[in-house]
Structure 1
């Protein structure tokens, strides 16, 4: 019996083999290529608390020149973890572009309060975690005093997030003091009165009342007369001269 070769199947096998060879060859060649350079990019609009140079050193593992590093020698997960462990960084993504650029996209932590604790000073970020002060920029955030264990106090963290995310409050509230009872007293940037905020409950309602009071009191100039603005009663604002 004669055997007939199926040339179509043979060509298909040869073609698959050729593609596999070229893919393997190209991949191996690509791995052995050296990087062109390293680049660090921070989220748009962020005020920098950490320098490009600091992140760049982590990115190229303290080598002086990224172009001396081969792609095959890179461990992107380790590089990403090293940057993420930096006390100023919230998240980082590290990757290599087609043209050999080693890139790190970095989002910094967002400070929302500054704590003075004994002889130590640091920020609390938007996630409620500790963030060191920066040598290159000082954040304009309220100063917290008396708030022991603020890092574990979700209500206080929520209070500072409300202040940070509101343009009016962010501009006007410069200090927050927590009393032993848990009540909160705040200071305004431009006026000498104390804001008796009370406990950290119904916070959005209290801030809404305060903004309404402020707008009216500024218009009739009565704001200059007050020593205490009491927000404890959510149905009204009680002022003491």
Structure 2
């Protein structure tokens, strides 16, 4: 007769108990109701879209957060609902064990404000149109002139460079698209304008401008200029 190994029996019993407890807790967790929502924003906390707006989007298909059973949640659908909001770049939605429906929201980043016959709106970092917000006004350059679709990529690159550079972001207040396709820029603290030219050699032109600015600032001549021409990448031409 084969001898029973009680160690093996105890191990099997422990495994069976663990499986039972896991199944029991899973089943109990699935029927648990959502008791609250929690909305958090990543990155800069500029409130283009409010916590209340996101919360309403989360529960718009239900009678209230407390009526939602966790096993009835369609998290993918909730994420799509948030992603479809023109202020939101990306959202992650999940439910916690304690019954909290959480949303981690990344808002879009505006890099320019457009005022045209089409209306007033932002252009975000990806080059898409973004509506103005009733809650917050972004401090970004004002873009005027006709935006030609075939030249849009180069234009977006210029604004991305401005947004990513602390000096340029603080310094440049406006960009006008001239009929020739060249860009004319205005600055915050001085009266001169910057003739940037076409949207080519962007890094080189901005590098030249920053070098000019530091040099002119030291010589206290910067207030005398009317036009800073960056069209020629080998030099900066200044007009008084």
TM-score, reference length from structure 2: 0.90
Deviation for aligned residue 1:47: 1.1
Deviation for aligned residue 1:67: 2.2
Residues 1-241 of structure 1 mapped to structure 2, 5 A cutoff: 19-61=18-60, 63=62, 65-149=64-148, 153-241=152-240
Deviation for aligned residue 1:240: 1.1
Which whole-Å CA distance do the structure 2 matches of 1:118 and 1:16 have between them? 70
Residue 189 of structure 2 aligns to a residue whose secondary structure is coil
Deviation for aligned residue 1:70: 1.2
Q: For 1:38-61, what per-residue CA distance to the aligned partner results, in whole angstroms no more than 9, with x for missing partners?
A: 010001432110000000011122
Between 1:196-205 and 1:59-68, the stretch displaced more is 59-68
Deviation for aligned residue 1:136: 0.5
Q: For 1:122-159, what per-residue CA distance to the aligned partner results, in whole angstroms no more than 9, with x for missing partners?
A: 10111111110000100000011114246971111110
Which whole-Å CA distance do the structure 2 matches of 1:178 and 1:150 have between them? 13
Which whole-Å CA distance do the structure 1 matches of 2:133 and 2:93 have between them? 23
Runs of 5+ unmatched residues, structure 1? none
2:29 and 2:97 in contact (8 A); partners too? no
Which whole-Å CA distance do the structure 1 matches of 2:237 and 2:169 have between them? 23
Residue 49 of structure 2 aligns to a residue whose secondary structure is coil
Residue 239 of structure 1 aligns to a residue whose secondary structure is strand
Q: For 1:150-196, what per-residue CA distance to the aligned partner results, in whole angstroms no more than 9, with x for missing partners?
A: 69711111100100111111001001011222111100112121111
In structure 2, the CA distance between the partners of 1:149 and 1:104, relative to structure 1 (3 Å rule), is farther
2:43 and 2:106 in contact (8 A); partners too? no
Which whole-Å CA distance do the structure 2 matches of 1:90 and 1:151 have between them? 24
Size of the alignment, in residue pairs? 239
Which whole-Å CA distance do the structure 2 matches of 1:217 and 1:69 have between them? 64
Residue 133 of structure 2 aligns to a residue whose secondary structure is coil
Between 1:141-150 and 1:199-208, the stretch displaced more is 141-150
Which whole-Å CA distance do the structure 2 matches of 1:77 and 1:42 have between them? 19
